[in-house]
């Protein structure tokens, strides 16, 4: 494969995608645990049952807030995970996967992205970029939809 082919191709990076998936899954839990340990070290030792309950409530609240915040940030990396799993040949120079993921993160409505694909129809490179942005956006959307469906099934 020549230098020109490398500029027009995305090689599949499944190991990196898997590692990023693990980080996205583990980071919220680890950050939550570290936050709880740090807050516990900063608080005075509780004396009595009401103080222990108050300390526990504070630790749970801080842990949950950190978990939710870090999980939200981590989910923004999921479109990149999807793009890293792809192997693709482009008609022109291959776009940056990070730029494509960043474009998908902007959370434009899927209908707007489809319109942009139709408008880019004459330029194969632009159409490919828009389709990849749709794929990345759908991977983020499917995760939220799956969670919603699972919560409805549990009822």
Using pLDDT thresholds of 50, 70 and 90, give the confidence band for residue 68: very high
Output the average pLDDT for the chain.
75
Q: How far apart are CA 1 and CA 111, in angstroms?
A: 37
Using pLDDT thresholds of 50, 70 and 90, give the confidence band for residue 34: very high
pLDDT tens for residues 1-32? Answer: 445 556 776 777 888 888 988 998 899 999 99
Q: Reply yes or no on whether the pLDDT at 144 is more than 60.
A: no
pLDDT tens for residues 99-142? Answer: 777 776 665 666 676 676 667 665 656 666 766 776 666 665 55
* Boundaries of domain holding 144: 3-154
Which carries the bigger pLDDT value, residue 1 or residue 65? 65
| Total domains, the chain | 1
Question: Of 24, 32, 26, which Cα lies nearest the Cα of 66?
Answer: 32
| Cβ neighbours of residue 58 closer than 8 Å, sequence gap 6 or more | 39, 43
């Amino acid at each position: 494969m020549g230098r020109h082919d490398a500029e027009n191709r995305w090689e599949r990076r499944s190991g990196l995608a898997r590692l990023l998936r693990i980080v996205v899954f583990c980071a919220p839990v680890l950050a939550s645990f570290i936050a709880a340990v740090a807050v516990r070290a900063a608080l005075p030792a509780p004396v009595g049952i009401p103080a222990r309950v108050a300390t526990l409530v504070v630790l749970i609240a801080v842990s949950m807030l950190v978990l939710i915040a870090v999980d939200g940030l981590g989910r923004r990396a999921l479109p990149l995970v999807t793009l890293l799993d792809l192997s693709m040949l482009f008609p022109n120079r291959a776009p940056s996967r990070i730029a494509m993921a960043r474009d998908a993160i902007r959370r434009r409505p899927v209908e707007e992205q489809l319109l942009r694909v139709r408008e880019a129809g004459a330029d194969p490179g632009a159409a490919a970029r828009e389709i990849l942005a749709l794929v990345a956006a759908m991977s983020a959307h499917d995760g939220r939809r799956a969670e919603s469906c699972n919560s409805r099934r549990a009822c």
